[in-house]
Amino acid sequence: MTPRRILFGVVIIFLLFSLLTSFEITNSFDDKWPVKEWHLEKCNKQVLFLADSLLNSPSISIAYKKILPPSGNKHDYLSMGPYWWPNPNSKDGLPYINRDGLVNPEVYNYNDDHLYEEMVNAVNILARAYHQTGDYRYSKRAAEYIDVFFVKRRTRMNPNLKYAQFVPGRREGRAEGTITISVLNPVLLASIGELEHSPNWPKSLKRKIHKWMRDFYHWITTHEYGVEASRRRNNIGTYYYYHILSLLKYMDEPEIAEAVIKESVIPLIKEQISKDGAQHYELERTKSFHYSLDNMKAILGIADLSTELGVDLWGYEENGQCFIKSMIDFYVPYVKGEKQWEWEQIIPFYFSDLNVVFTKAADHYGDTYSKYLIK
């Protein structure tokens, strides 16, 4: 294992800890810096340790891939659908068949998902370190990561996902391929937004990364895969809109973002959340708890972005149902032990993973939710 892989293993563990203790830390770098002060003090040393390690680590690019996409262009993002396996009924294994929730190890032959995540983690850690210290070294190093990944001609990623989550024998790319970047980009864009407050942030880089994001926004809102993702009623659609709203916030397009919330996001949430608060599309999956939790996190992220735009999704209700509150309340009897989880779950899960959700609920609906936190 290379030193860089070891370092990023530490980074990922730290970020998972951050997600479990404060969801807001991955969502926002606004002027108020919403993360609780005790959490910042607790994490300060870890952040600076990791940031210092990143100062001398190599930059990251998807342009060094060994397997090229169908375009033959090393700058095009490439990944394989994780739950697709060789067909046992054909000699060549094609077309691949779906085994929901079971990851085919072949996906690890395609490294772009991992590299994108590494880049986002690095920029996020450096942005936090810069925010805490004001040390120009951290913002300068983050700028180098971004410049290599998105701007430099030899190493940049093209602003598209045409070959993301391909399926051998079936598709060169899919709407599902938007999910990885849709999960990560809200973190990246919040980090970049914080870094751009640095007086030493390169103006040329700001201009170029804004152009890249606008080009990507055009692609994801017009290409068939992006359009299809926007029509999905499950987590693919939720993360699509979380991503879109993050892009629009970064591009300073509040009017368009508000229209997206009212015309697309609200109808999506109403369809996803049943009368009893269940997320029925996610409960159909083989990892029902994890998919419903991940989808809920995206909804809460959207709700926070919507608040900044003057749209209250936390309190949005219709016919006596406050949708987000009922979604959170759905889990309470399971956490209290009054009910047993009855949906398929092929890997272990822990109700303590809901702590981040109940922490957010306490902020918006009252301290009653704090008693459901599991230590």
Model confidence band, residue 20 (pLDDT cutoffs 50, 70, 90):
very low
Predicted local confidence at residue 43, as pLDDT? 59
49 in Cβ contact with 126 (< 8 Å): no
Kindly report, residue by residue over 36-85, the tens digit of the pLDDT: 333 445 558 889 999 999 999 999 999 999 999 999 999 999 999 999 99
CA torsion through residues 95, 101, 107, 112, sign: positive
Q: How many CB atoms lie within 10 A of CB 277?
A: 18
Does position 25 have pLDDT exceeding 70, yes or no?
no
Kindly report, residue by residue over 327-365, the tens digit of the pLDDT: 999 999 999 999 999 999 999 999 999 999 999 999 999
Domain locations in the chain as residue ranges: 1-200, 232-375
Does position 7 have pLDDT exceeding 70, yes or no?
no
Kindly report, residue by residue over 269-279, the tens digit of the pLDDT: 999 999 999 99
Asked if the domains 1-200 and 232-375 are classified in one and the same CATH topology, the answer is yes
Predicted local confidence at residue 19, as pLDDT? 37
Query: What mean pLDDT is predicted for residues 153-158?
Result: 98
Query: What mean pLDDT is predicted for residues 282-291?
Result: 98
How far apart, in whole angstroms, are the C-alpha atoms of residue 65 and residue 109? Answer: 10
Predicted local confidence at residue 44, as pLDDT? 81
DSSP 304-350: HHHHHTT--STT-EETTEEHHHHHHHTTHHHHTTSS---S-BSS---
User: Mean pLDDT for the chain?
Assistant: 91
Q: For residues 9 and 299, which has the higher predicted lDDT (pLDDT)?
A: 299
Fold of the domain built from segment(s) 1-200: Glycosyltransferase (1.50.10)
How far apart, in whole angstroms, are the C-alpha atoms of residue 375 and residue 372? Answer: 10
Does position 8 have pLDDT exceeding 70, yes or no?
no
How far apart, in whole angstroms, are the C-alpha atoms of residue 52 and residue 135? Answer: 11
Query: What mean pLDDT is predicted for residues 222-235?
Result: 98
Domain spanning 232-375, CATH architecture: Alpha/alpha barrel (1.50)
Model confidence band, residue 375 (pLDDT cutoffs 50, 70, 90):
confident
